[in-house]
Chain A
Amino acid sequence: MTAKTVFDDVETLKKELIRCMKCGNCMSVCPVYGVEEKESSVARGKIALGEAILDDKIDIDDETLVKLIFNCLVCKSCMLACPSGVRYDRIILGLRATIAKKKGLPFIKKVLFGLLKNPELFDKGMKAFATMQGLFLKHEEQKVRAPRGLLRQFGKRFDEEFLLPEISKESFRDTVQELEDVEDAQATAIFFTGCSVNYFYPEVGNDLIYVLKKNKVRVITPRKQNCCGMPVMVHGDIDTARELAKKNIDIFEKVNAGYIITVCGSCGSALKHEYPIILEGDTAYEEKAKKWTDKVYDISTFLLKIIKFEPPKGELNLKVTYHDSCHLKKSMKVFNEPRQLLKMIPGITLIEMKKPDMCCGSGGSYHLTHPDTALKIAQSKAEDIKQTQADVVCTGCPACMMQLFESIHRWDNSCKVLHTVNLLAQSYKSEEKENV
C-alpha cells in the first residue's frame, strides 16, 4: 500500500511550496530561463503556478499551464542554488503526475511507456526499429544516422543536422555473459546498464566490464533488468515508474550483490535518489529501496572510493574537457571523481570549460518536446566546448553523449565525445600493447 505523497495528492504539495521565498536565486542558474528570459521558465514561476492551482486561481488542465509545467529539464540546477532547500524535484514531478492523472497521457506516450513496462516487448520493439531504422534514418558515417525526409515531417527538431547513434541490432545485454567472473575478486557488483548503453552505446558497457575486470571486480549484468524509470517519471507517469522501480528492486534482491554500478547519471540518479521518493510510504518496498540506494555507485566513485583501484599506465596524448551531467553532479553529487580519474591517465590534459556543469539541453526528451529552447542551450554548450580546443569531450551520461555529439557536429567542431570509462579502457589497452 502506498501512503499519500506529492504524486498522489496535490494538496500534499503545499508544505513543499511554502518553502519557496520567491528570492529568484534559481534564475541565475536555470538553462531554460537563460534562453527564454521569462518568469514562467524558472522554478520560482512554476512554484507560483503550483500555488495558484492549490488556491483555485487556475485549473490544472489549463492548456498554457500544462505547457509551462512541462517546460523544464528537471536538471535540478535550481536546487543547488536555493537558499531555502526547496525540494523542487518533488514539486515538478508531483505537478506533472497530477496533470497526467487528470488529463491522461497522450497516446504516443501511453504506447511507449506501456512498452517500457514490458522489457521483452520493449527489447523486441527496439530490435525491430534497429532493422527498420533505414526507413527513417539514413547512414551518415559509421554508426551515426540522420533523419530521412519522412521523419522530418514530425517537426523541425528532426532536420538534417539531427544525428543519432545507430541502434545496435544486438543489444549489449544480448552479447555479454550474465556473470563475468575474475580470480581473487575484490568485490561483486551488479551492472545496471540503462537503455542507452544497451541499445546505443554497447561499447561503453563493454569498456566498463573491461575496466572492472582489470580491477578484479566480478560483474553481474542481469539480462532482464528494466528501464530505470526516469523517462516516465519526468512525464508524470509515476505509476509506471513505480512498477519499473519495484521490478528492478526485485532483481537486485534476487541477485544480491554488494554494489550496483551505473555509467549513466540519469539511471544512477533514479536508483539512488528517486526510488526512495516515489516509493515513500510503500510498506513492501520503501525499506528495500533505501537499502539498495546505499549500494548504488557511479563507476567513478566505485573505482576511487570503494575498491583498490589500479590506475592505467598507457599514455593517451589528448586534451580532454569534462561535461558534468546534471543528474550525475546535481543529484548524485559526483563531479570530483571523474576529473580525478581523467587526471590519473598519463598524457591527458584536462581543460575546463567556462561552465562545465551547465546543462547540455538534452533532459531526456526535452530536446524533442522543446526543440527551440533546447537547441539554444545546446549551442552555448557547443561554443563552450569549442573554446577549450579539446580533442575529446568526456562525460558520465550516455544521454548527454548523444546531445553533445549532435551539437558538436551542428556547430562545426571535430571534438570526439566519449564516456570516462572509454578513456580508462583505452589507456589500459594501450598499456597492454606496450607490454607485448
Chain B
Amino acid sequence: MIDDGFIKKCKDIFGPENVLTDKAELITYSYDATPGIPSEIPGVVVFPQNIKQIQELISLARQTKTPIYPRGAGTCLSGGPVPLSKGVVISFQRMNKIIEIDADNLTATVQPGVIISDLNSAVSKYGLIYPPDPGSMATATVGGSVAENSGGLRGLKYGVTKHYIMGMEVVLPTGEIFRYGGKTVKNVTAYDFTSLFVGSEGTLGIITEIICKLIPAPKYYKSMIAFFDRIEDAGKTVTDIIRAHVIPATLEIMDKVTIQTVENYAKVGLPVDAEALLLIEVDGMGKDSVDWEAEKCLEIIKENNGKAKVAQTAQERDSIWTARRAALPALAQVKPATILEDATVPRTKIVEMLAAISNISKKYNIMIGTFGHAGDGNLHPTLLIDPLNKDELERVNKAIDEIFEVALSFGGTLSGEHGIGVAKLKYLKNEIGKSGIKTMRRIKQALDPDNILNPAKLVPVED
C-alpha cells in the first residue's frame, strides 16, 4: 500500500508538483457529488500529463497491490471516484487538451480532462455540437462522463454518451495500452469495445484519449410549455407525441411539488394549481419540419386537455428553460440537503411511476419533488432531507429502496444516467440477476486480474 517509498516513486513519475500528499489536500479527494455514501481519504493524489506516467503508476500499483481510482471533476452521482480502500486517486483535471477537431470527419479527439462545455464551445465555431449534456456539463469532464456513460436533457432525441464515442485509447489494468475505433463511421472490427469501456466506471481501464462523434448543430428550434390539471393527461401527451412520430430534443416533466417550489423560489409565472407541466423543445435543420413538429405537439397537448404556450422570442425561450433549471436549486432551498435519484422507466409508465413516488412520499413522510426527462422515462425524484435528523435518514433509505423496487417492477432500470458505482450496488442483482453479476465478475477478472482498478464499484464483491 502507500508508504513513503510509494510516494517518492509517485513524485519521480509525475514530478513533485503533480503529487498531493498533505492530509488537507487529500481530504478534498475523499468524495464526489453523491450524497449519503461512505467517503475515504486517499493515500496520495496524482495528476498525470501523459500515458507513460500512467503505465508506470500501474506497474507500481500492481507490485504493491494498491488500488487506483481514476477521477474527472468529481461530479459523479453514484460514488464512482470515491477511494473506498484509500490508495491512489489519479485526477485528470490537468490532462485537458483538445487534441484535434476534424470538422470534415465530424470528430473531436480529446484528453479525458477536457470539460464538456469547453468541448462544445470549441466545436461551435464549426457549427457542430457534442450532444451529451449532463446537468454538470460546465464542470464535468469528457473522460468522467464517458466512464459513467452520462446522459442529459437532450437524451430523448440524441441519446447518451455511448452513442457519441467512436474510439478510445485505454491503459488496461495490466499496464498494456489498447487503442480501438477511429474516425470511420462504420467500424465493426472485433468486439464492440465502446459498449465495454463506456460506462465501465473506471473498473476496466484508464481512459487516456477519446474520439468523440460530433453532429451539425440544429438550425431551428421551437420551445413550449404545457400545463395539465391531471397528471394522467401529461403522461398521455408524452406517449402520444412519440406515437405521432415526433421526437423532441427535450421533453421534460415537473410534478406539482416541483412546480410550486419553483414558482415560490424563482417567480417565473407558473400556475401553482397545475398538477404537472411539460417543457418541450423540437429542433432540426429545416424550418418547415420544425414548425410541423411544434404544431403536432400543440394539437396533442390540446387533445389531452393541456394549455400550452409557445415561446415567440429568444427571451421567452430562455424563461421556459429558466423554470427547468430552477427545479433543483428551488428544491434545494426547502431543506438543508437533497438526494437526487435517477430511476428510469419505459415512457409509457411515467404516470404510474409518478403516482408510486407520490405514495412513497406519503408513506414515509418524506418530501419528494419529481422532475426529469419524461420523453426518455428518466425521472429525478428528489428527496428533501435534513441530514442531522437521524430518524428521517432511516425513512429516506427505505423510501429509496422502494423507489427502485417499483421502477424495476415497471420494467425500468436502476440508473438512466448516473451509473451504479457504490450507491446502487446493493440493488444490482435485482435488475441483472445472479448470472448477470457472474458475467460482470468474469469480465472484471479477465481484464483486471489483480483487482486494482476502482475495486468494489459497479461489480459487487459479495453476493
Contacts and interface: CB of A to CB of B under 8 A. Distances in A.
Given A84-B332, A84-B338, A24 B33 contact: yes
B94 A24 contact: no
A14 B193 CA distance: 46
A65 B23 CA distance: 8
A25 B328 contact: no
A84 B340 CA distance: 13
A40 B28 contact: yes
Contact of B94 (A15, A37, A65): A37
Most buried by A among B35, B73, B96: B73
B93 A21 contact: no
A131 interface: no
A18 B47 CA distance: 29
B22 to A, nearest CB: 4
B333 interface: yes
Interface of B: 20, 22-25, 27-35, 41, 45, 47, 73-75, 91, 93-94, 96, 115, 117, 136, 138-140, 328-329, 332-333, 336-338, 387-388
Contact of A21 (B23, B24, B91, B332): B332
A49 interface: yes
Interface of A: 14-15, 18-19, 21-25, 27-28, 37-40, 44-45, 48-49, 52, 57-58, 62, 64-65, 67-68, 81, 83-85
Contacts of B329: 83-85
Contact of B23 (A28, A62, A67): A62
A74 to B, nearest CB: 18
Nearest to B75: A24
B35 A21 contact: yes
Contacts of A67: 24
Contacts of A49: 24, 27-28
B25 A64 contact: yes
B333 A23 contact: no
A18 B387 contact: yes
A24 B25 CA distance: 16
17 contacts: A19-B337, A22-B32, A22-B35, A23-B139, A24-B73, A24-B140, A28-B117, A38-B20, A38-B45, A39-B28, A44-B28, A48-B27, A52-B24, A62-B24, A68-B24, A84-B332, A85-B333
B387 A25 contact: no
Contacts of B96: 37
Contacts of B91: 38-39
B28 A21 contact: no
Nearest to B339: A21
Contacts of B29: 39
B375 to A, nearest CB: 23
A28 B140 CA distance: 9
B93 A48 contact: no
Contacts of B338: 21, 84
A58 B336 contact: no
A22 B33 contact: yes
Given A18-B387, A21-B35, A24-B33, A58 B27 contact: yes
B11 to A, nearest CB: 16
Contacts of A38: 20, 25, 28, 45, 47, 91, 93
Contacts of B387: 18
Contacts of B73: 24, 27
B205 to A, nearest CB: 23
A58 B41 CA distance: 12
Contact of B136 (A14, A25, A48, A64): A25
A53 to B, nearest CB: 10
Nearest to A23: B33
A28 B22 CA distance: 25
A21 B36 CA distance: 10
A23 B75 contact: yes
B332 A24 contact: no
Most buried by B among A15, A38, A67: A38
Nearest to B340: A21
Given A21-B33, A28-B138, A83-B332, A65 B24 contact: yes
A58 B24 contact: yes
Given A21-B338, A24-B33, A45 B28 contact: yes
B96 to A, nearest CB: 8
A69 to B, nearest CB: 9
Contacts of B25: 38-40, 64, 68
B222 to A, nearest CB: 27
A234 B107 CA distance: 47
Given A25-B139, A83-B329, A40 B24 contact: yes
